Structure 1
Amino acid sequence: MDDWHNIGSPALHSSSLKLQCYNGNLLNVKGECHVHIQYKDKHYDLPLIVINGSSSPLLGIQWIKMMLLNLNDIVHGQNPAQSYVHKIYDAAALNTTLQKYKQLLNKELGHCTKVQAHIQLKLDAIPKFFKPRPIPFAYLECVKEEIQRNVEAGILERIDTSPWPAPIVPVKKLNGKVGTCGDFKVTINHQMLIDQHPIPSIDELLVRLNNGQKFTKLDLSDAYLQVD
């Protein structure tokens, strides 16, 4: 709608098109009009579909075919210093890239190699035994699958006895899978020597990031399990 208003709101006529999003929702089509387009010294009279709502405009396959567009040559941005070229790669180029970075793109669990985690117990620490809690039947199969996945990945090791057994807590993740967390507060947490090194506050971190130009957010899969 915003782009339609920006070009002068040309008269619309009803459209028989039914446009559907990838998630199955139907778009509310307001109407259709024809617009005069100039691109690289050529002129075109092309249909424009207007939908209710505010969203980014899409270049349809009909325009691409009629204008004989090469998408690899389309430059985004008005400022040459800040513009970029949208590239489309063929299967061979994609496979080459995937092979080049296969160590980064694989689904295997990573390992922290810079430091080795360790737990330091108090001198008077006594092992505690805690019985497993009942798991909801709705989570039972998912928990079994998750434990088996961890065993196959070398994260967990099957044992018959232990002086420090702790119950697990199933947690449903955003992706629909069920993760397993050990409830160590009832067994080992209060018998540990805690690292008292102060953690920087948000204000301290923001000061350190002052004048920074490039930032990234890392979401590690099974982050705690990547530490040996």
Structure 2
Amino acid sequence: MVGNKAVVPVRLNCYEMEMIYDPGATRSVVSENMWQKIGKPPLEAAPALIACTKVPVETMGKAKVKVSAFGRTRCLYVHVVKEHDGPLFGLNWCKAFGLRFPKGIQIRSIHSLSLKEGKPSSRHDKIAQALTEQYPEVFANDAGTLVGYEAVVHLKKEAQLKVFKPRPAPFFLKPQVDEELNRLLEEDVLEQVDSVTMPIEWASPIVGVVKTDGKV
């Protein structure tokens, strides 16, 4: 049978691929074979997924991966299943990337029954699950992004353009400083600028503070 499907070009960790755009799926999913191709990231326990036909899908677990799409990068969970179906770019990732849905679309929480006990989970579990599904970007382990707003900085008319030289970091702190800067770049908190192609008119040095865990 010949048909069409909507796909999203993505990069999971360092592996480029196409995923089927499926906001009707509550979770983003890859097969065991694809999980191996993206480096077999550590699996965490996860409840079995339920297909649209109400049939349980054998689920190996969930893994946190670096997802690059739409010019942005997020650290998100992907569920890994035994079946060799196409990878799904589900609703949780659509919301994490701030994708807009057509007018009139409503997102509703789904409460499933426990496969083992055959009864609903506790009220607190339902509330927690509903909140994490409705606001995945809030509970994601990254800084998140404010979408649809533009900041405006008001300056005094007599303000002068200034470029301050960077403060030299102590030698023993340089690895931690580099690690933190790379993390902020990966999460789109900072954006690297090439002074050759883009002249720098404003620049302020950073202050590296050692935290209680030894990180900067």
Higher share of residues assigned strand: 2
TM-score by length of structure 1 reads 0.32
Structure number with higher relative contact order (C-alpha < 8 Å, ≥ 6 residues apart): 2
- Highest Rg: 1 or 2? 1
Structure in which a larger fraction of residues adopt helix = 1
